[in-house]
Amino acid sequence: KEELYCQLIKQLTFCPDLKIETRIWELLWLLTGVLVPGKVLLHHATLFLRSSSNPTALECYNRIQKIQK
């Protein structure tokens, strides 16, 4: 699960293609609803999601918060 988060965030950071970026956000949205990253990565993932201007980032952040409880 850690590797999935790392790869998706990496791809979103350097993605020049809007169609691909949209698909990656969809994958990250799905992932955040089923798997919470480990404690260290959780901190970095939430920082990434909170700093993104993409509307799906907020949804992903909220899904992580919800599944953590």
Return per-residue pLDDT of the chain as tens, 69 residues.
Answer: 899 999 999 999 988 999 999 999 999 999 999 999 999 999 999 999 999 999 999 999 999 999 987
Instruction: Give the integer Cα–Cα distance in Å for 40 and 53.
Output: 23
Dihedral sign (CA 53, 37, 18, 11): positive
Query: What is residue 14's predicted lDDT score, i.e. its pLDDT?
Result: 87
Q: The whole model's pTM is what?
A: 0.91
